[in-house]
Amino acid sequence: MNVLIVHAHNEPKSFNSSMKNLAREQLENQGYTVQVSDLYEMRFNPVATGDDFLKRIDPEYLVYALEQRNAYKQGGLDPEIGAELEKVKWADFIIFNFPIYWFGMPAIMKGWIDRVFVSGYCYGGTRFYDYGGLRGKKAMLSFTIGSQKHMFGSRAVHGELEAMIRPIQRGILGYLGFTVLPPFVAFHVPYISHEARVQYLRDYQERLQNLDRLTPLEFPSLDDFDEKMHPLYKEVE
């Protein structure tokens, strides 16, 4: 199995970066081939602009997704994007490792999503969810978050954690067709003890050893919708 770890933390000595290092070592020990895209180290450019295309269909008016589709077909994507897209194609399993910033990804990782998951190859038209261009591949989030665990839940102050990361898990990964494994979450990381951090790393290691036993998240199937995306059945059974 080929594994890509997309990692975004601005401190290489952070606990979050240790999670990335652990995942690389552990998965290599399990016999997998691992590549890491360390976005801060790479100084990855997260801003989607017309410069992302070597040649434009319309140099006067930018429609980003349209230019993605054309540039992908013509081999005219910016080399930084092209190299990352090759890793995506190569990977059977992608781990996104990051600290939660504002209940989402740090901008440098959001920009990787914006620029690398190109229209035309990764999705397009009615190629999404179970017909997404990356179906057959697995993905998983592994993240640290400042909040405590009890701050999430049906009656908790922030509501369900799952609801806060829904645009990522369903709107990005599920949409693209990935089989999405449950996220690995380390809570309250800036404030916890050394022992608690070591325990999180043990838990993460165990998680990585048991990837095959995880039950993937569920997303809609386009088989339940017509070609204009109206639901096929009036009643949910």
Least distance to a copy of itself, CB of residue 160, Å: 10
Strand ranges, E, within the chain: 2-7, 33-38, 93-99, 138-145, 179-180, 184-187
Please, what is the minimum distance in Å from the beta carbon of residue 141 to a copy of itself? Answer: 13
Tokens 């890793």 — which residue? 87
Residues contributing to the site for a copy of itself (CB under 8 A): 10-11, 13-14, 40, 46-50, 61-66, 101-108, 110-111, 113-114, 117, 129, 146, 148, 150-151, 155-159, 163-167, 170-172, 175, 190, 220, 222, 225, 229-231, 236
Question: Maximum CA pair distance of the chain?
Answer: 57
The minimum distance between CB 161 and a copy of itself, in angstroms, equals 11
Place of tokens 């990855």: 44
Number of C-beta neighbours around residue 218 at 10 A: 9
Amino acid, res. 90: W
DSSP 8-class letter at 55: S
Q: CB of 162: closest distance to a copy of itself in angstroms? A: 11
CB of 132 to a copy of itself, least distance (A): 13
3-state secondary structure (DSSP) of residue 123: strand
Question: Which CB, 27 or 165, lies closer to a copy of itself?
Answer: 165
Structure tokens, 112: 């990787």
Tell me the helices (H) and strands (E) count for the chain, helix number first. Answer: 8, 6
4 vs 113, beta carbon nearer a copy of itself: 113
Task: For a copy of itself, give the closer residue by CB, 86 or 224.
Answer: 224
**210 vs 236 by CB, closer to a copy of itself:** 236
Question: How far is Cα 211 from Cα 202, in angstroms, rounded to an integer?
Answer: 15
201 — phi, psi (to 5°)?
A: -65, -40
Q: How far apart are CA 87 and CA 235, in angstroms?
A: 42
Q: For the CB of residue 194, give the shortest distance to a copy of itself in the complex, in Å.
A: 15
Nearer to a copy of itself, 13 or 194 (CB): 13
- Cβ proximity to a copy of itself: between 17 and 26 the closer is 17
